[in-house]
Amino acid sequence: MSLTSQLQGFVIAIAAGVFLGAYYDIFRIFRTVFQSERRAVFFQDLFYMLTAAFITFLLALGVNYGEVRFYILAGEAIGWCMYYLTVGMVTYRVFRFVSGIVRKFIIFPIKKLFTKISHFIFSIMKIIGKNTKIVAANQKKRLKHHRQIVYNHFKVKSSKNSKA
C-alpha cells in the first residue's frame, strides 16, 4: 500500500472516530433523560461496543481490504477523543441544561398532574369497590322470592283457558 492510501485511510478512520463519538453521545443523552439503571447502562454499552466493532470492521474492509492496521485503530481513537473532548462536552452540557429545564417545567408538572388524577381515580375505585362489597353482602341477606319459598303454590292457569 502506498503512503497516500494509508494517510487517506487514517483520515477516514479519524472521521469514523468522530462519528462513533457522536454515536456514543446519543447514549449519554439517553441515559441523562431517562436516568438508566446499571443493567440498562451495561446493555447500552454492550450494544455500542458491538456496533462500533462492526463499523471498525467495515472501515478496515473498505480501506485495507479487511486487514486491521494500527493506524486505523489509532485514527478512530483520535477521532473519538477529538469529538468527546471538544464538541461532545459542549453538546452534553447544553443538553443536560436543556433537559433540566424541560424536566423542571414540563415533565414534573405533567407527572404531578397524572399523580393527582391517578390518586383521584384510585380513591373513586376504592369507594366503588367498598360499595360493591356492601351490596354483595346485603344481597345474601335479602328474602327469597315468594314463589320460591311457598311449596304448595301452584300456577294459576291463564284467563284464556279458564273462560273456555
pLDDT at 140: 66
Give CA angle at 104 (101, 108), nearest 5°. Answer: 145
pLDDT tens-digit series, residues 69-89: 899 999 999 999 999 999 999
Burial class of 47 by CB neighbour count within 10 A (0 to 12, 13 to 18, 19+): exposed
* Interaxial angle between packed helices 87-102 and 70-85, expressed in degrees from 0 to 180 and rounded to the nearest 10: 40
pLDDT at 138: 75
Q: Which residues of the chain have pLDDT under 50?
A: 164
Rounded to the nearest 10°, the torsion over CA 113, 115, 118, 122 is -140
CA distance 15 to 13: 5
Whose cell is 433540566? That residue is 100
CA distance 89 to 17: 16
Q: How many residues does the chain have?
A: 164
pTM confidence score: 0.63
